[in-house]
Amino acid sequence: MYEQRFDGRKFDELRKIEAEVGVVPNAKGSARFRIGNTEAIAAVYGPDEVKPRHFEKMDRAVLMVKYDMMPFSVPDRAKPGIDRRDMEIAEVLMNALNRAIMVEEFPQMMININVYVTQADAGTRCASLTAASMACADAGLPMRDLVASVAGGKIGDSVVLDLTKEEEDFEGGATDVPMAFLPSKGEILLLQLDGKVSKEDLKKVIELGKEGAQKIYEIEREALKRRFSNESKS
């Protein structure tokens, strides 16, 4: 049984969120997104010539997404470089961003999106996706909507939002459901499941995720709009 969360949050409460854009001056667009102890930094470059050439698409841009965890991001050192998990996450991020960015406006071009996780405490793919979408908006790419992403799940018998690593490892059994939405359209861009959950509970988790994503969406928009007041100060 899981009646009280380890960090004292309510079951439908998000962790503390920080969002900021323009953190990498050399990139075309960049963003930092932090939720609890999970933090991701995204940088966007391009559109550019497609390299290697055979990736080129005649009717749309190719997104090159790189996801990497810093060696110091986890308690015991993560091996530097791209492993199988990083490749899989980069792939799901790319699929989600393909729906959000209007890739058909840049045929035969490539957009580079690099995401680095500086601190990991569960939900890194969600934080990465949110950071990447903010960085794309900051880079001036045409988008249908921002992506808001959050993990939900089930711990013991309770449906919860935004799990921590401690909760994911709960010995009574925990289910992790990372989700991503286009909030103003209500579309689902990412839905993965790790664990066991009944059909009814999954519906509840998605509903909860939608509400959480709406809150993240507000914070994203606020951070992006701050770009205007920040720049005019200098």
> Please, are residues 125 and 178 in contact by the beta-carbon 8 Å criterion?
yes
- The single residue listed with the structure tokens 């996780």 is 117
If the CB atoms of residues 112 and 128 are measured against another protein, the closer one turns out to be: 112
If the CB atoms of residues 87 and 102 are measured against another protein, the closer one turns out to be: 102
**Cα–Cα dist 62/110, whole Å:** 5
Please state at what angle helix 84-100 crosses helix 124-138, rounded to 10 degrees.
40
**Please, which residues bridge with residue 152 across strands?**
161, 177
- The two tokens of residue 2 are 């899981």
If the CB atoms of residues 67 and 106 are measured against another protein, the closer one turns out to be: 106
Distance of closest approach, residue 107 Cβ to another protein, in angstroms: 8
If the CB atoms of residues 88 and 222 are measured against another protein, the closer one turns out to be: 222
Distance of closest approach, residue 43 Cβ to another protein, in angstroms: 14
List residues binding another protein (CB under 8 A). Answer: 28-29, 46-49, 102, 106-110, 137-146, 182-185, 220-221, 224-225, 227-228, 231-232, 234
If the CB atoms of residues 7 and 49 are measured against another protein, the closer one turns out to be: 49
Distance of closest approach, residue 115 Cβ to another protein, in angstroms: 19
Distance of closest approach, residue 109 Cβ to another protein, in angstroms: 5
The alpha carbon of residue 157 and the mean position of all alpha carbons in its chain are separated, in whole angstroms, by 26
Question: β-strand 109-119 against 148-155: which pairing, if any?
Answer: unpaired
Distance of closest approach, residue 181 Cβ to another protein, in angstroms: 11
**Cα–Cα dist 27/83, whole Å:** 25
